[in-house]
Structure 1
Amino acid sequence: PETVVIGGGITGMYAALDIANAGYKVHLVERTPTIGGHMLQFDKTFPTLDCAACILTPRMVDVGQHPNIDLLSYSEVEEVGGSIGNFTVKVRRKPRYVVEKDPVTGAIVCTGCGLCADACRMQKIPNEFNLGLGKRSAIYFPMPQAVPACYTVDPENCIMLTKGKCGKATLESTREAIKRIKSGEVTREEVKDEIPLCVATCGPNCIDFDMKDEIVDLNVGTIIVATGTDVIDPMLMPEYKYGVYPNVIHGLEMERLLAPNGPTQGKVIINGKEPKDIVFIQCAGSRNKQTGYEYCSRVCCMYSIKHAHLIKERIHDANLSILYQDIRAYGKAFEEFYDRIKGEGINFRRGLASEVYQKPGSDRVVVRGEDTMLGEPYELEADLVVLATGLRPADGVEKVVRLTKLSQSADKFFLEAHPKLRPVDTAVDGIFVAGCCQGPKDIPDSVAQAKAASSSSLIYLGTGKAKLEAITSEINEELCTGCRTCEALCPYGALEFDAEETIMRVNEAICKGCGCCNGACPSGAASMRHFRDRQIYAQIEALTEALAPPS
C-alpha cells in the first residue's frame, strides 16, 4: 500500500514523513521546484521567534533523503481515478532541463554549484521566491537550501528555449557539441562558441534542453490533499494604493525584506532608504464582503505584531502603528506575546484605514481613517505601509477539486466531512485534507492536521480494510436504458457505463447514497438500497391510515 500527498509545504512534508516512518511508500507531489511552501519565505515564526529556515530545512532534508518518500517536485497531478485502496493517480513531471539524478545509478548529477546561473545572459527576471522584490537568472535556484538541490531552467525566459538560440549557439549546435564533449573528442573550450554559457560552465554536463514532460502513473491506497494557501490579492482594495505606491507592500513581502536570505539581506529598505514611520493596516482583504473574503484569516494580527517587533529590533527609532478592528491572539502564548510587544512602544489604534494617498511633493504617504475607540478621525504620515493580507485557497485549487471530486465550503476551502468530529476526513473515503487548504490556520495547527491526516491514512494502509456506506445506489438492469443521464449528475463519479451491456453500473466503494441518480433516472432504474420508492409509499400509507374516513 502506498499514499500520494499533494502539496510539499510544511503540512504535506509532515504527513509524508509520518507515513514513511511507519514503513509505507509515499509519493510527495509539489508543483514548484522546491518543497517547503510559504514557511520557507518567513524570517521568524510567532510567538517563539524561532528562525523559520532553521526549523524547516532539517525536515526538508529528511524528506529528500527518506528511502520511503518519492519526491516529485516541479510536478502536478493530472488525473485521479479509482476508489479507496485502489486510487490511480497520473502525475505530470515538468522538465527542469537540468538532470537531477542519473536515471540508471540514481547518483546525483546536478551539484547545485551555481556556475550556470552566474554565467546566464538573462539576469533580470523577477524572482518569484522574493515576490518580485529581487532578480534571478533564467536558470535558477529558488533559495540556497532548496530541496531537491537542483537548478531549473525557466522555459518562458530562457532564450535558448524561446528562440532556439543563445549567443552564437543554437539547439542543434549544442546537441552536437555535447555529444562530442562526452565522447572525449573535444573540450568545452574548443566548442565554446557552439554551446550557451550555462552549458560551457557546467562540469557534470547536466543541462539538457531536450527534456520533455514525463507522465508518472501511480496506484495508491489513500490520498492526502495539502495544497496550502496564498495571500489575498491586495489589488482588490484600491483604496490602499497597492501597486500604485512602491512604499505600500503586503505582509509576505515584509517577510522577505526581514529574512536574511531575502533581497535586502534582512535590512528594511524602501525607496532606497530606511523607513522611520511605518503603519500596519490589519484585515486587508479578509473580513470584507466587498472582496468576497468574509472570514478571519487567523494569522494576520500575530504576524503584524511579529513584524513590528522585528522592525523595532532593526530600526530602534522607528515609529510603528498598527491599525486594527480586533486583535485576535487566540493561540498558545499569543496573548503573552501581544502584551510583550505592546510594552515596546508600538502604537495600537482601533479603527481601520479608509484610504492611503501620497503627500504632495513627497514620496511619503498619508493613511486616513477613524479611531473607533476615541470617535475621531486621524491622519498618519508614513514612509511605509504594510497591508496585513489574509489567506485564500492556493492557486490551482479548482483543478484539484475537479480531479478528486471533493467539495468546497462557502469560503472556497476544501470541505471536511464534519467540522468538529471529522476535520481531516472528506466525503470521499480514502482522501484526506490537512493544513491551510481546509481553512486558514497557523503552523502548529497545520502540523497537527498533517499528523491527524497521516494517522487516518495509516488506519487503512495498516489494516487493508475500509467500511463502506450501507445505503448506496442500485441499478435495475432490466429497466436501465443506458441513457447515461445519471453519470453526468453523480457528484462522486460512482456511476460507470458498461459499453457491452449498455447499462450503468455503481461502484459501491465510491457511492455515498446521495440519491441524485434516483431522482434523475427517467426509466426508474436507479434506486437507493433500503430506501426504495415502495418503502416510502408504505410509510406514507401507514401515516395516513388513521386519517382515512371509517368505512
Structure 2
Amino acid sequence: IKKKPRYVLESKCKGCIEECARVCPIEVPSEFDFNIGLRKAVYIPIKQAVPMVALIDPKSCVGCKLCEQACPADAIDYTQKEEEIEFKVGAIIVATGWQPFKAERKEEYGYKKYKDVITNLELERMLNSSGPTSGILVRPSSGKIPKKIAFVQCVGSRDEQVGNPYCSRVCCMAAIKNAIIIKERYPETEITIFYIDIRASGEGYEEYYKRAQDLGIRFIRARPSDCGLRIGDCGLDLTPNLRYEDTLTGEKCQENYDLIVLSTGLEPHPSAKEIARLLNLPLQNNRFFQVAHPKMKPVDTPIKGVLVAGCASGPKEIQVSIAQGSATASRALGLLAKGEIELEPSIAEINKEKCIGCKLCEYLCNFGAIKVRTKNKENRIAELSELDCVGCGICTAACPSNAIQLKNYEQEQILAQIKALHNKSEFPLILGFLCNWCSYAGADMAGISRIQYPTNIRIIRIPCTGFLDIRFVIEAFNQGIDGVLVAGCRMGECHYTTGNYHAKTRMEVLKKILKYVGFDERRLRVQWISASDGPKFAEIVTEFVDELKSIGEIGSELV
C-alpha cells in the first residue's frame, strides 16, 4: 500500500487546525464542499476526520513555513516521503464507495455554464450548518435566498445516452429530504421536483413522500429537455429556466427558477477497474463489483477471502451499506478465526509435459488461479495456484492439448460413466450432464417432491456446465445415446461467474457440427434450471422424450 506524505506528524498533531490555518496565506476550493467553499493549504479534510490530524496539500502549498512556526505541537515535518507498507492479510474487504456523476456531461442543463444550476451534493453542503454558507441557502450568482427552486431527477441515472441505464436508488429520497428541509426553513419558497418515477420503497419512505406533498412541494412527472436563461424586458438576465413536457397531462411548459438542483446519479469509484484487475474480481455491466450471488452471497465475491460492502457492488441506501459493512466484518472474522484455509478437493491439475503454453486457460480463469510462466524463449508452462482454484473445470474443457485434468472428475472417469450406458435398456435413452449447484439440485427437488417424469434419463453430475468437453457429448452419441441434455445454472447465476456462458457457446458450435454431418441438432438440448425448479426439470425431460420419439433412434436420420 502506498501511503502519501501528510507532512504532519500524526504522533504530535492535536487537531488544533485553527492555529495552522490562521497563518496560512493560501486558499483553494474545498473538495469536501464540492468547490463551493474554500480551504487552506494546511487543513483537516472533514470535521469528523479519523484520525483528527492535519495535512498539507503539496499542490497548493507555497512553502512559506508559517504553519511550522505557528504549530504549538511542533508537528510539521516537510521531510516526509511517500511510503510503501506491506500487509499480510487473511481477508480483504472492498469498500471503494462511489463517485457522483459529472453533471457537465449533460450539457443541456448548463451545469458550470449557469451559476444557479448546482448539484444535489453542493446543495447538501449549503444546507449543512458546518458547510461553506453555514446552513444558509443562497443563489451562487447573487448570494440571495432563492424563492423558486427546481429539482431535476435522474441526471446521469436511467440514461442510456451516458451509459448508465441503472437507477441510483438514493436520489429520489435525497431530493425529497432536501426539499422538506428547505420548505421548513423557508416556508414561502416554491419547490418543484421533476421526476421519471418516484421510487420510495424503503421503510417509512412513502410516508415521507406524502409529507412532502402535504407541505406543498410540487411533483411533476417530466424529464426537462434543457435549461436556458430568462429573457426579460431588459434583455438576458441570470435567472435559469426549464423547458419540459408533463407526461401525465401532455402539457408543454417553460418556467423560470432562481435555483436548479440536479440530482446526479452514483457511478463506480475510479479505482474500481484497477482493483478488479489486481484482485481478479468480475465487474457487472454497470461497472460496479459483482457479488458471488445476489441473494445467497450478497457480500461475497467469486474470489475466496475477498468481500465487498456498500456501494462498491452498486448504488444503495446508507442503511443497506451499514448492514453490509457489519456482514463483511462478520464474514472476515469467521475466515480469520479458522486459522487455516480449506482447499477444494476437486481442483485442476496441469500436466506440464503436455502443456503448450497457449495461455487459453489463463484467459478463461475468472479467479486468477492459472498463470503461464516463461521458462525460456521457447518454453512457456501454465502454473496453478491451488489456493485460488475453485474447481470449476472451465479450463479443462478449453485446453487444446488435454493438459489439464480436474481431480475427481478426470476424463477417464467421465468417459467410463458414458460407456457404461452402451447397452440401451429403453428408447429413447437420454444422458443428462447436470451442474452440481443448480440443475442437479433441481433434479433432486423433482425427486423429493415425487414429481412423475419418464425414466429415460441417466444423469452424470459435473461441477459446472463450463467443465463439459464437447468430446463427452460426441462420445455419448457414439455409444448410441439418443439425446443429450446439458443443464446448468440460469444465465447470470453461475456459481463460477461465466461457466454457463462458455457452455452455451460450445454447445451452439456443436449443434452446428451435428447438423453439418447429418444429425438432427434437436438431439442436443441445453437448458438453464434453478435449484428450486423441480417441476421445470420434469417438464423438460418429458418434452425431450416426446421429441426424441418423433425423431427416432440415433442415426436414423442418416439413412
- TM-score, with structure 2 as normaliser: 0.71
User: Could you tell me which amino acid in structure 2 is paired with residue 540 of structure 1?
Assistant: I
Q: Which residue of 2 aligns with 1:350?
A: 221
Query: What is the SS of the residue equivalent to 1:353?
Result: coil
Query: What is the SS of the residue equivalent to 1:364?
Result: strand
Aligned CA distance change for structure 1 residues 399 and 443 (closer, same or farther; 3 Å): same
**2:260 & 2:219 partners in 1: Cα distance?**
15
Query: What is the SS of the residue equivalent to 2:228?
Result: strand
Aligned CA distance change for structure 1 residues 222 and 498 (closer, same or farther; 3 Å): farther
**2:220 & 2:318 partners in 1: Cα distance?**
27
Quick check: 1:99–1:110 contact (8 Å CA) kept in 2?
no
Pairwise mapping of residues 352-367 of structure 1 onto structure 2 (< 5 A)? 352-360=223-231, 361-367=236-242
**1:221 & 1:498 partners in 2: Cα distance?**
29
The equivalent position to 1:300 in structure 2, one of 164, 171, 179, is 171
Q: Which residue of 2 aligns with 1:333?
A: 204
The alignment status of 1:414 with 2:285, answered yes or no, reads: no
**1:485 & 1:326 partners in 2: Cα distance?**
46
Q: Which residue of 1 aligns with 2:547?
A: none
> 1:474-529, CA deviations, whole angstroms, 9 ceiling, x for partnerless residues?
10133235666644664422125495997433112212345564466554323333
How far has the Cα of 1:376 moved from its partner?
Answer: 0.8
Q: Which residue of 1 aligns with 2:525?
A: none
**1:114 & 1:485 partners in 2: Cα distance?**
60
How far has the Cα of 1:469 moved from its partner?
Answer: 3.8
Quick check: 1:267–1:314 contact (8 Å CA) kept in 2?
no
Q: Which residue of 2 aligns with 1:69?
A: none
The alignment status of 1:506 with 2:410, answered yes or no, reads: no
Q: Which residue of 2 aligns with 1:141?
A: 44
How far has the Cα of 1:149 moved from its partner?
Answer: 1.0
The alignment status of 1:473 with 2:348, answered yes or no, reads: yes
How far has the Cα of 1:542 moved from its partner?
Answer: 3.5
Pairwise mapping of residues 9-408 of structure 1 onto structure 2 (< 5 A)? 91-101=1-11, 108-123=12-27, 125-160=28-63, 166=64, 196-270=65-139, 271=141, 272-360=143-231, 361-408=236-283
Q: After the TM superposition, which of the residue ranges 479-488 and 434-443 deviates more from structure 2?
A: 479-488
**1:443 & 1:433 partners in 2: Cα distance?**
15
Q: Which has the higher contact order (CA 8 A, sep 6+)?
A: 1
Query: What is the SS of the residue equivalent to 2:238?
Result: coil
Quick check: 1:295–1:411 contact (8 Å CA) kept in 2?
yes
The alignment status of 1:529 with 2:407, answered yes or no, reads: yes
Q: Which residue of 2 aligns with 1:177?
A: none
How far has the Cα of 1:152 moved from its partner?
Answer: 0.7
Quick check: 2:118–2:262 contact (8 Å CA) kept in 1?
yes
Quick check: 2:17–2:54 contact (8 Å CA) kept in 1?
no
- TM-score, with structure 1 as normaliser: 0.72
Query: What is the SS of the residue equivalent to 1:239?
Result: helix
How far has the Cα of 1:378 moved from its partner?
Answer: 1.4
Q: After the TM superposition, which of the residue ranges 538-547 and 311-320 deviates more from structure 2?
A: 538-547
The alignment status of 1:453 with 2:387, answered yes or no, reads: no
Quick check: 2:17–2:43 contact (8 Å CA) kept in 1?
no
Q: Which residue of 1 aligns with 2:475?
A: 541
How far has the Cα of 1:455 moved from its partner?
Answer: 1.8
User: Could you tell me which amino acid in structure 1 is paired with residue 192 of structure 2?
Assistant: S
How far has the Cα of 1:109 moved from its partner?
Answer: 3.5
**1:431 & 1:143 partners in 2: Cα distance?**
29
**1:333 & 1:215 partners in 2: Cα distance?**
47
Q: Which residue of 2 aligns with 1:181?
A: none
**1:245 & 1:267 partners in 2: Cα distance?**
20
> 1:386-423, CA deviations, whole angstroms, 9 ceiling, x for partnerless residues?
01111111122112111211110000010000111111
Quick check: 2:168–2:266 contact (8 Å CA) kept in 1?
yes
Aligned CA distance change for structure 1 residues 352 and 332 (closer, same or farther; 3 Å): same
**1:484 & 1:413 partners in 2: Cα distance?**
27
**1:518 & 1:275 partners in 2: Cα distance?**
66
Aligned CA distance change for structure 1 residues 260 and 525 (closer, same or farther; 3 Å): same
User: Could you tell me which amino acid in structure 1 is paired with residue 403 of structure 2?
Assistant: A
**2:16 & 2:170 partners in 1: Cα distance?**
35
**1:259 & 1:142 partners in 2: Cα distance?**
16
**1:519 & 1:359 partners in 2: Cα distance?**
66
How far has the Cα of 1:145 moved from its partner?
Answer: 2.8
**2:382 & 2:287 partners in 1: Cα distance?**
32
How far has the Cα of 1:208 moved from its partner?
Answer: 1.1
**1:329 & 1:481 partners in 2: Cα distance?**
57
**2:260 & 2:13 partners in 1: Cα distance?**
45
**2:358 & 2:145 partners in 1: Cα distance?**
70
**1:480 & 1:545 partners in 2: Cα distance?**
30
How far has the Cα of 1:232 moved from its partner?
Answer: 1.0
User: Could you tell me which amino acid in structure 1 is paired with residue 210 of structure 2?
Assistant: D
> 1:101-158, CA deviations, whole angstroms, 9 ceiling, x for partnerless residues?
1xxxxxx4444342111111212x1100100001111111123332211111111111
**1:111 & 1:130 partners in 2: Cα distance?**
20
User: Could you tell me which amino acid in structure 2 is paired with residue 265 of structure 1?
Assistant: S
Quick check: 2:13–2:54 contact (8 Å CA) kept in 1?
no
Quick check: 2:193–2:220 contact (8 Å CA) kept in 1?
yes
> 1:166-203, CA deviations, whole angstroms, 9 ceiling, x for partnerless residues?
3xxxxxxxxxxxxxxxxxxxxxxxxxxxxx21111112
**2:60 & 2:226 partners in 1: Cα distance?**
37
How far has the Cα of 1:298 moved from its partner?
Answer: 0.7
Q: After the TM superposition, which of the residue ranges 501-510 and 445-454 deviates more from structure 2?
A: 501-510
Quick check: 2:195–2:221 contact (8 Å CA) kept in 1?
yes
**2:401 & 2:479 partners in 1: Cα distance?**
30
**1:502 & 1:144 partners in 2: Cα distance?**
55
Tell me the C-alpha RMSD between the 2 structures. 2.3
How far has the Cα of 1:545 moved from its partner?
Answer: 2.4
> 1:399-452, CA deviations, whole angstroms, 9 ceiling, x for partnerless residues?
211121111000001000011111111110010111111111111111111112
**2:400 & 2:479 partners in 1: Cα distance?**
30
Q: Which residue of 2 aligns with 1:43?
A: none
Aligned CA distance change for structure 1 residues 348 and 484 (closer, same or farther; 3 Å): closer
Quick check: 1:413–1:437 contact (8 Å CA) kept in 2?
yes
Unaligned ranges ≥5, structure 2: 415-468, 481-553
**1:368 & 1:539 partners in 2: Cα distance?**
62
Aligned CA distance change for structure 1 residues 464 and 238 (closer, same or farther; 3 Å): same
**1:481 & 1:363 partners in 2: Cα distance?**
69
**1:205 & 1:118 partners in 2: Cα distance?**
16
Aligned CA distance change for structure 1 residues 482 and 363 (closer, same or farther; 3 Å): closer
Query: What is the SS of the residue equivalent to 2:307?
Result: strand
Quick check: 1:323–1:349 contact (8 Å CA) kept in 2?
yes
> 1:264-298, CA deviations, whole angstroms, 9 ceiling, x for partnerless residues?
00000112111000001111110010011100111
Quick check: 1:277–1:384 contact (8 Å CA) kept in 2?
yes
Q: After the TM superposition, which of the residue ranges 326-335 and 360-369 deviates more from structure 2?
A: 360-369
User: Could you tell me which amino acid in structure 2 is paired with residue 135 of structure 1?
Assistant: L
**2:369 & 2:472 partners in 1: Cα distance?**
29
If you compute each CA radius of gyration, which structure gives the higher value, 1 or 2? 2
